[in-house]
Structure 1
Amino acid sequence: MSDHDPADRLKALEDKIAAARGGEADTHHSEEHYSQAQHAWRMVIELVAGLGIGFGIGYGLDALLGTQPWLMVLFVFLGFAAGVKTMMRSAQEMQNTQLPGPGGEDGKDERDGD
């Protein structure tokens, strides 16, 4: 065995890894699609959770105070607004992690104050 044998083996291994990574382009696309589906479901769940929590609080207060259905309607609208606000915050968070912003690779803008 020569002194260069480990270096040659390492080079051959790196070539094999590079070739294997070249064949993974199709699986990366399906993983990206799966990730987008997860983000979409997360946003739907946040909206529905806001509506559900608002409905529950409103219904409970209406049952206690006997003001049916006024507080339920009010809290459903408040829950919807909270769900939309949470969805927008999640969308902004996902956008910052996927696309680097003007602030650099971490996606933070200089205006954020962080």
Structure 2
Amino acid sequence: MTDPDQKQRMAQLEAKIDAAKQAQAPKPRVDEHYSQAQLAWRMVIELVAGLGIGFGIGYGLDVLFGTLPIFMVLFVMLGLAAGVKTMLRSAQEIQKKKLAEEAETRDEGA
């Protein structure tokens, strides 16, 4: 029913399909590098989260005790300080990683 020429063409077609699949297969990621924008967004989110949590706690205490917005102001300031501290800790972590990568590339080059 099938002649040898048709079998040969089918084998060639299958080889082409396999080659096309391998060419379009996703390549594994060796290292995930964060762009500067991602790092900046991380720091902004940490700062805003500190402010938001401080605001929520302060507002809740003001509503609970029926006071002027003294607790809200106090906890917003504490939230700001916590957010800045977390942001600085993240910046130090990023700096340590960059310095370690630079030292590693210098060691490989030497």
TM-score range, shorter chain: 0.5 to 0.7
> Which amino acid counterpart does residue 64 of structure 2 have in structure 1?
L
**After TM superposition, which residue ranges in structure 1, 4 or more long, deviate above 2 angstroms?**
none
Counterparts of 1:68-107 in structure 2, within 5 Å, are: 68-100=68-100
For structure 2, the 5+ residue unaligned runs are: 1-31, 105-110
Structure 1 counterpart of 2:67: 67
Structure 1 counterpart of 2:46: 46
For structure 1, the 5+ residue unaligned runs are: 1-30, 106-114
TM-score normalised per structure 2: 0.60
> Which amino acid counterpart does residue 90 of structure 1 have in structure 2?
S
Q: Which has the higher contact order (CA 8 A, sep 6+)?
A: 2
Task: Name the Cα RMSD after superposition.
Answer: 2.0
Instruction: Report the Cα offset of residue 100 of structure 1.
Output: 2.3
Q: Looking at CA atoms only, which structure, 1 or 2, has the larger radius of gyration? A: 2
Structure 1 counterpart of 2:55: 55
TM-score normalised per structure 1: 0.58
